[in-house]
Amino acid sequence: MESTNPELKKKPNSFMILSIVLFIVCHQLIIVCCVLSWQLISANKQINVVTTEKETLSTEKDKVVAQLENLKKEYDQLSKDNTQLTEMFNQEKEQVEKLLAKVKNSQGSVAKYKNQIASMEGRLKEYEQQIEELKKQNKDLTVENFHIKTVLDSTSTENKQLSTQNQALNETVSKGSALTTYDINANGIIVKSKGKELPTKKAKRVEKIRVCFTIGENAIATAGAKTVYLRIADPSGTILSSSAGDEFSFDYQGAKLQYSSKEQVTFNNKAVDVCIYWAKIKDFTPGNYTVDLFADGNAIGTSTFILEK
């Protein structure tokens, strides 16, 4: 019969206990490592997002600053090319510089300034287009001035005045404030029933002379009520007018000129269509007729038409 040792049965298995303790410790270490790794990854992502946002804001700010710097250069160039408008362009440039200072001092997004910049760029383009249009008109100014000399009263005193007036006209147009016209259409008409108007070239049939035209868009000109005067010269050069008195005359830069008809026009800086009529007083003479338009003391358009026998 085998003998058993009671002390061996009661003694705990130390290896098993150690294994259990080590397993628990390792498991906790694994959990801690996982948590730390996740926190490190999240922190890196946040750092990348912040860095990207800063880079984006910096790029956006640099782009806006470049736009404003370019606007300043454009206005400097316009001032050099158009010295008579320097004061106006300097005011525009001052607004650009104020906005540029705000953008440079801004710490966040500059997107709120984009609409202001777009408005400034749009206004600059309007000025550039207006100046180009005026340059084109000035090329034809010599021919127009010569024609004005032929239709004004042919006294030596008035001719001398006209030379000075034409010089003033050049200066006014160069400042961009004078109105301009285009699509001038002058002809004789017959008025039918219900007011229907039919054009005719037969002098003896003409009841009225109709002159239709468009006053061009001008962002610089002063808006408001404008009186447009029409002068019609017959083939002999005589101005068609209801009277030779002052009640049918207007001032043209110091001279009194007779007019045929006039029309009140509301001008809001946008293009506007206008028609002015001269009603028959006596039979019209066949031949070449000349029409001239004036407003704000300036000649703004001229055209011719022919009435036949």
- Give the C-alpha separation, 295 to 135, whole Å: 20
Domain extents for the chain? 28-138, 179-307
Give the model's pLDDT for residue 72: 82
pLDDT digit string (tens) for 39-98?
Answer: 767 665 665 544 555 555 567 778 878 888 888 888 888 778 887 777 887 888 788 888
Task: Write phi, then psi, for 259 (nearest 5 degrees).
Answer: -125, 160
β-pairing verdict for 272-279 and 181-191: unpaired
Residues 6 or more apart whose CB falls under 8 angstroms from that of 221 comprise: 176, 177, 178, 179, 267, 269
Domain 179-307, CATH: 2.60.40.10
Residue 165: pLDDT over 70: no
Q: What is the mean pLDDT of the chain?
A: 79
Its pTM surpasses 0.75: no
CB crowding 250-264: b at 16 or more within 10 Å, else e? bebbeeebbbbbebe
Pick the more confident residue, 52 or 210: 210
Does 249 have pLDDT greater than 50?
yes
Q: State the Cα–Cα distance between residues 159 and 102, nearest whole angstrom.
A: 57
Q: How confident is the model at residue 167 (pLDDT cuts 50, 70, 90)?
A: low
| pLDDT tens string 19-43 | 777 777 677 777 767 777 677 676 6
Per-residue model confidence as pLDDT tens digits over 127-160? 788 877 777 777 665 555 555 555 555 555 555 6
Residue 117 in this model has a pLDDT that exceeds 70: yes
